[in-house]
Amino acid sequence: MSKLEFNIVEIPEGESRRTVALSDEDLDLSPHTFVGGQVEILFYRTLHFIRVNFHVSSDIELTCDRSLEPYIQPIESDYEVVFKVDVKEEKEDENGAVRRFNFSSNSLSIEDEVRDTIFLNVPVKKLHPKFIDDEGKPKDFETKSFGDTEEDDDDSEIVDPRWKKLKELKN
Protein backbone atom coordinates (compact mmCIF):
# COMPACT_ATOMS: atom_id res chain seq x y z
CA MET A 1 0.00 0.00 0.00
CA SER A 2 1.48 3.36 -1.02
CA LYS A 3 1.48 6.50 1.10
CA LEU A 4 -1.17 7.99 -1.20
CA GLU A 5 -3.63 5.09 -0.88
CA PHE A 6 -6.22 5.41 1.88
CA ASN A 7 -8.66 3.01 3.53
CA ILE A 8 -12.19 4.35 3.38
CA VAL A 9 -12.99 3.26 6.93
CA GLU A 10 -10.13 5.47 8.17
CA ILE A 11 -11.61 8.56 6.51
CA PRO A 12 -14.19 10.08 8.89
CA GLU A 13 -17.56 11.42 7.72
CA GLY A 14 -17.46 15.12 6.88
CA GLU A 15 -14.26 17.08 6.52
CA SER A 16 -10.80 15.87 7.56
CA ARG A 17 -7.20 16.73 6.75
CA ARG A 18 -3.97 14.79 6.32
CA THR A 19 -0.43 15.68 5.44
CA VAL A 20 1.75 13.10 3.71
CA ALA A 21 5.51 13.51 3.41
CA LEU A 22 6.95 11.90 0.28
CA SER A 23 10.52 10.71 -0.13
CA ASP A 24 12.43 10.20 -3.36
CA GLU A 25 11.33 6.53 -3.46
CA ASP A 26 7.58 7.21 -3.23
CA LEU A 27 6.98 8.52 -6.78
CA ASP A 28 8.43 7.52 -10.12
CA LEU A 29 8.80 10.61 -12.32
CA SER A 30 11.00 9.11 -15.03
CA PRO A 31 12.84 10.64 -16.90
CA HIS A 32 13.08 13.23 -14.10
CA THR A 33 14.25 12.56 -10.55
CA PHE A 34 11.78 13.12 -7.71
CA VAL A 35 13.66 14.60 -4.75
CA GLY A 36 10.81 14.72 -2.24
CA GLY A 37 7.80 16.70 -1.22
CA GLN A 38 4.66 17.05 0.79
CA VAL A 39 0.98 16.58 -0.03
CA GLU A 40 -1.66 18.36 2.03
CA ILE A 41 -4.97 16.54 1.60
CA LEU A 42 -8.49 17.70 2.45
CA PHE A 43 -11.09 14.92 2.47
CA TYR A 44 -14.84 15.51 2.42
CA ARG A 45 -16.77 12.27 2.81
CA THR A 46 -20.52 11.66 2.51
CA LEU A 47 -22.57 8.53 1.85
CA HIS A 48 -22.56 9.19 -1.91
CA PHE A 49 -19.11 10.55 -2.69
CA ILE A 50 -15.65 11.37 -1.37
CA ARG A 51 -14.06 14.64 -2.48
CA VAL A 52 -10.27 14.86 -2.23
CA ASN A 53 -8.57 18.26 -2.62
CA PHE A 54 -4.81 18.24 -2.42
CA HIS A 55 -1.91 20.67 -2.60
CA VAL A 56 1.46 19.33 -3.73
CA SER A 57 4.74 20.99 -2.74
CA SER A 58 7.63 19.06 -4.23
CA ASP A 59 11.13 19.29 -5.64
CA ILE A 60 12.35 17.52 -8.75
CA GLU A 61 15.78 17.40 -10.31
CA LEU A 62 15.87 18.56 -13.91
CA THR A 63 18.64 19.01 -16.46
CA CYS A 64 19.08 22.52 -17.84
CA ASP A 65 18.43 22.73 -21.59
CA ARG A 66 21.07 25.44 -21.98
CA SER A 67 24.01 24.16 -19.91
CA LEU A 68 23.07 20.50 -19.26
CA GLU A 69 23.65 21.11 -15.54
CA PRO A 70 21.28 19.45 -13.06
CA TYR A 71 19.23 21.72 -10.82
CA ILE A 72 16.33 21.46 -8.37
CA GLN A 73 12.96 22.79 -9.58
CA PRO A 74 10.30 23.47 -6.92
CA ILE A 75 6.75 22.56 -7.99
CA GLU A 76 3.50 23.59 -6.31
CA SER A 77 0.01 22.77 -7.51
CA ASP A 78 -3.57 22.06 -6.46
CA TYR A 79 -6.01 19.45 -7.76
CA GLU A 80 -9.40 17.96 -6.87
CA VAL A 81 -10.68 14.43 -7.35
CA VAL A 82 -14.27 13.37 -6.66
CA PHE A 83 -14.88 9.65 -6.20
CA LYS A 84 -18.53 8.67 -6.86
CA VAL A 85 -20.33 5.34 -7.06
CA ASP A 86 -22.87 6.23 -9.75
CA VAL A 87 -20.48 7.73 -12.34
CA LYS A 88 -21.15 6.41 -15.85
CA GLU A 89 -18.17 8.11 -17.48
CA GLU A 90 -15.03 9.41 -15.79
CA LYS A 91 -14.13 13.03 -16.55
CA GLU A 92 -10.93 14.97 -16.12
CA ASP A 93 -9.64 18.48 -16.82
CA GLU A 94 -6.85 20.75 -15.59
CA ASN A 95 -8.67 21.60 -12.35
CA GLY A 96 -10.07 18.25 -11.27
CA ALA A 97 -11.41 14.82 -12.04
CA VAL A 98 -14.48 12.71 -11.38
CA ARG A 99 -13.66 9.05 -10.88
CA ARG A 100 -15.79 5.94 -10.56
CA PHE A 101 -15.44 4.36 -7.18
CA ASN A 102 -16.21 0.88 -5.97
CA PHE A 103 -16.86 0.95 -2.21
CA SER A 104 -16.28 -2.81 -1.97
CA SER A 105 -12.54 -2.25 -2.54
CA ASN A 106 -12.37 -0.24 0.71
CA SER A 107 -9.51 1.95 -0.53
CA LEU A 108 -8.85 4.87 -2.83
CA SER A 109 -5.60 6.04 -4.36
CA ILE A 110 -4.55 9.50 -5.52
CA GLU A 111 -1.01 8.49 -6.48
CA ASP A 112 -1.63 8.83 -10.24
CA GLU A 113 -3.23 12.24 -9.81
CA VAL A 114 -0.36 13.52 -7.64
CA ARG A 115 2.23 12.24 -10.13
CA ASP A 116 0.36 13.75 -13.10
CA THR A 117 -0.08 17.07 -11.29
CA ILE A 118 3.67 17.29 -10.79
CA PHE A 119 4.36 16.28 -14.42
CA LEU A 120 1.99 18.94 -15.74
CA ASN A 121 3.89 21.63 -13.85
CA VAL A 122 7.36 20.73 -15.15
CA PRO A 123 8.46 23.73 -17.23
CA VAL A 124 8.72 23.22 -20.98
CA LYS A 125 11.99 25.17 -21.10
CA LYS A 126 14.15 23.85 -18.32
CA LEU A 127 16.55 26.66 -17.38
CA HIS A 128 18.95 26.62 -14.47
CA PRO A 129 18.13 29.50 -12.07
CA LYS A 130 21.48 31.15 -12.89
CA PHE A 131 20.13 31.83 -16.41
CA ILE A 132 17.00 33.64 -15.15
CA ASP A 133 17.01 37.34 -14.24
CA ASP A 134 15.26 39.03 -11.30
CA GLU A 135 12.03 39.41 -13.30
CA GLY A 136 11.88 35.69 -14.09
CA LYS A 137 12.87 36.11 -17.74
CA PRO A 138 15.71 34.17 -19.40
CA LYS A 139 19.00 36.05 -19.65
CA ASP A 140 20.50 36.58 -23.11
CA PHE A 141 23.40 34.47 -24.28
CA GLU A 142 26.83 36.02 -24.14
CA THR A 143 28.43 36.12 -27.58
CA LYS A 144 32.12 35.32 -27.57
CA SER A 145 34.62 35.16 -30.44
CA PHE A 146 37.64 32.92 -30.48
CA GLY A 147 40.67 33.31 -32.74
CA ASP A 148 41.28 35.95 -35.40
CA THR A 149 38.29 37.41 -37.16
CA GLU A 150 38.49 39.66 -40.18
CA GLU A 151 36.05 42.47 -40.64
CA ASP A 152 35.24 42.74 -44.37
CA ASP A 153 33.03 45.58 -45.53
CA ASP A 154 33.04 44.29 -49.11
CA ASP A 155 31.08 41.09 -48.29
CA SER A 156 28.07 42.34 -50.25
CA GLU A 157 30.12 42.54 -53.45
CA ILE A 158 31.71 39.10 -53.22
CA VAL A 159 29.70 36.63 -55.29
CA ASP A 160 30.22 32.89 -55.35
CA PRO A 161 31.65 31.92 -58.77
CA ARG A 162 29.03 29.19 -59.08
CA TRP A 163 26.27 31.82 -59.00
CA LYS A 164 28.04 33.73 -61.75
CA LYS A 165 28.05 30.63 -63.96
CA LEU A 166 24.34 30.02 -63.29
CA LYS A 167 23.48 33.61 -64.17
CA GLU A 168 25.43 33.25 -67.43
CA LEU A 169 23.41 30.16 -68.30
CA LYS A 170 20.18 32.03 -67.68
CA ASN A 171 21.11 34.79 -70.15
Positive or negative, the Cα torsion across 81, 82, 88, 94? negative
Q: Name the residue range of residue 32's domain.
A: 5-131
Tell me the average pLDDT across 63-92.
90
Asked whether residue 48 is assigned to any structural domain, the reply reads yes
Which stretches of the chain are assigned E, i.e. beta strand? 5-7, 14-22, 33-45, 49-63, 70-84, 91-92, 96-100, 107-109
Q: With respect to residue 63, please indicate whether it lies within any of the assigned structural domains.
A: yes
What is the pTM (predicted TM-score) of this model? 0.75
Q: Is residue 115 part of a domain?
A: yes
pLDDT over 70, % of the chain: 91
Residue 101 has a CB neighbour count (10 Å cut-off) of 18
**Domain count within the chain:** 1
| Higher-pLDDT residue of 20, 143 | 20
pLDDT tens-digit map of 138-157: 888 777 777 766 654 555 56
Cβ neighbours of residue 49 closer than 8 Å, sequence gap 6 or more: 82, 83, 84, 85, 101
Query: Quick one: average pLDDT of 51-62?
Result: 95
